Amino acid sequence: MSQDKLTQLIHHPYRAPAGFEAVQPGVHKASTVIFENTAALHKRQWKDKSGYTYGLHGTPTTFTLEERLATLEGGRQTLLTPSGLAAITLVDMALLRTGDEVLIPDNAYGPGKDFARGELAHWGIGHRFYDPMDPASLQAALSERSRLVWLEAAGSVTLEFPDLSGLLQVARQHPGLVVAMDNTWGAGLAFDTFELGVPGPEGSDTRGVDVSIHALTKYPSGGGDVLMGAVTTRNEALHHRLKLTHMRLGLGVGANDAEAILRGLPSMGVRYQAHDAATRRIAQWLQGRPEVSQVLHPALADSPGHAHWAQHCTAAGGLVSMVFDASRHAPERVHAMVDALRLFKIGYSWGGPVSLVVPYELKGMRQMGALAGREGTVVRLAIGLESPDDLIADLTQAFSQL
């Protein structure tokens, strides 16, 4: 039967070559996946990755990325989400029901707090903030309604390193409480979030958290050009709860973006080391500058939570923040200093080659802990991959604005 060109263009006989073992995985794109017959259509399962059913449920590209991320974080199962924030909101939506409460550190990633205030509250789900530097504060915030507790190390912007073991010990006294970590800063490299030395709930084999979320947008991407998140677990039942919600919400990721992350992963270890070494150097240099009231970086001995950092970590990533007290530097002067920076670009996020800077007003930023009530400006630096000497020279010239 001779066919029209329109049909031939669609039903062409070409097949990708078997035995083509490239170094990097290819990009497999699909919404539709074709089944050889109706028996296959009825039999194939999307839940256990035993087969491909529909692009939203996974492709060879996304499955490969999920497996590598599970390995990186020391988990067993990973789900990909369109952003790091979507990973946080997926965990909230999958695990919380009307009447429940979620506990969030006061210094957690801001948009995650905002999701609790702006969305969860409308569904009758409560939230409480606790002081991550004080396990007794978590203890006091827990109630019979508590279902989920978030941890984050180090804290967003202010980089306090919490007493992870102490917080876990408190959480584990409450059966049925799920513990989730925002592991973006540690990235699976600074500490093992499933191996923090505190036994998990009965029947589980975690010695740390139950769920780890990771904004792949940061270190795994490494380019400042891809948005993606991951939700990793060690427990099959918990994974399936998350996966059902993930499927119902339709949280797919693009195959080209997944491939971009797969390209970033092999160099992530050395990039993290380079960010870490440069950031420590700059943090030490900042400590010697009279303009700066306080340098926040968990590897510095006098930074909040340094002892907890030292208990779990040797690496410290690429972020350092500096506090300019309002009594010494008006915000306008600090902003002028930020504007005077040349190599540091003003912009959100981190983990890419370009150094970034964002100023935040301290007033109203923290309700608890040592920074609550303090007035001034916190300037967060995300150290990129430029030469640290050049970055220090840039900071030196910009500090003249103060």
Ligand X SMILES: *Cc1c(COP(=O)(O)O)cnc(C)c1O
Could you tell me if residue 54 is left (phi over 0), alpha (psi between -120 and 50 degrees) or otherwise beta? Answer: beta
Is the CB of 94 or the CB of 142 nearer to ligand X? Answer: 94
When asked if residue 137 is in the footprint of ligand X (CB under 6 A), the reply is no
Whether 58 contacts 49, CB under 8 Å? yes
Q: Which of 344, 351, 232, 247 is nearest to 286 (CA)?
A: 344
Which of residues 58, 74, 75, 84 is near ligand X by CB under 6 A? 84
When asked if residue 155 is in the footprint of ligand X (CB under 6 A), the reply is no
Q: Which of 105, 138, 98 is nearest to 119 (CA)?
A: 98
Could you tell me if residue 387 is left (phi over 0), alpha (psi between -120 and 50 degrees) or otherwise beta? Answer: beta
CA 176 – CA 96 distance, rounded (Å): 12
Q: Which of 352, 105, 59 is nearest to 215 (CA)?
A: 352
Q: Which residue is nearest to ligand X (CB)?
A: 84
Contacts with ligand X by CB under 6 A: the residue count is 13
Query: Residue 320 class from Cβ within 10 Å (0-12 exposed, 13-18 middle, 19+ buried)?
Result: buried
Is the CB of 199 or the CB of 353 nearer to ligand X? Answer: 353
Which residue stretch of 67-75, 83-91, 141-149, 245-253 sits at the interface with ligand X (rule: CB under 6 A)? 83-91
Is the CB of 213 or the CB of 341 nearer to ligand X? Answer: 213
Which residue stretch of 6-14, 78-86, 113-121, 126-134 sits at the interface with ligand X (rule: CB under 6 A)? 78-86
When asked if residue 156 is in the footprint of ligand X (CB under 6 A), the reply is yes
When asked if residue 381 is in the footprint of ligand X (CB under 6 A), the reply is no
Is the CB of 108 or the CB of 238 nearer to ligand X? Answer: 108
* Of residues 284-313, those binding ligand X (CB under 6 A): none
Residues 6+ apart with CB under 8 A from 69: 78, 188, 214, 216, 220, 230, 232
Which of residues 116, 170, 190, 227 is near ligand X by CB under 6 A? 227
CA 331 – CA 348 distance, rounded (Å): 19
Q: How far is the CB of 221 from ligand X (least distance, A)?
A: 9
- Which token pair is 224? 């400042």
Q: How far is the CB of 389 from ligand X (least distance, A)?
A: 27
Q: How far is the CB of 80 from ligand X (least distance, A)?
A: 12
Which residue stretch of 59-67, 80-88, 127-135, 289-297 sits at the interface with ligand X (rule: CB under 6 A)? 80-88
Site string for ligand X, 163-192 (x = CB under 6 A): -------------------x-x--------
Which of residues 63, 109, 115, 191 is near ligand X by CB under 6 A? 109
Is the CB of 88 or the CB of 338 nearer to ligand X? Answer: 88
* Of residues 189-218, those binding ligand X (CB under 6 A): 215, 217-218
Q: How many CA atoms lie within 13 A of 243 on its CB side?
A: 19
Which residue stretch of 6-14, 44-52, 77-85, 230-238 sits at the interface with ligand X (rule: CB under 6 A)? 77-85
CA 178 – CA 172 distance, rounded (Å): 9
Is the CB of 73 or the CB of 182 nearer to ligand X? Answer: 182
When asked if residue 229 is in the footprint of ligand X (CB under 6 A), the reply is yes
Is the CB of 227 or the CB of 356 nearer to ligand X? Answer: 227
When asked if residue 153 is in the footprint of ligand X (CB under 6 A), the reply is no
Q: How far is the CB of 17 from ligand X (least distance, A)?
A: 36
Q: How far is the CB of 62 from ligand X (least distance, A)?
A: 16
What single letter denotes the amino acid at residue 354? V
Neighbours of 170 (CB within 10 A): 23
What single letter denotes the amino acid at residue 171? A
CA 309 – CA 298 distance, rounded (Å): 6
When asked if residue 85 is in the footprint of ligand X (CB under 6 A), the reply is yes
H or E element at residue 78: strand 77-81
User: Quick one: CA torsion of 270, 272, 277, 283, rounded to 10 degrees?
Assistant: 170
H or E element at residue 309: helix 306-312
Q: How far is the CB of 156 from ligand X (least distance, A)?
A: 6
Is the CB of 30 or the CB of 94 nearer to ligand X? Answer: 94
Interacting residues with ligand X (CB under 6 A): 83-85, 109, 156, 182, 184, 215, 217-218, 227, 229, 349
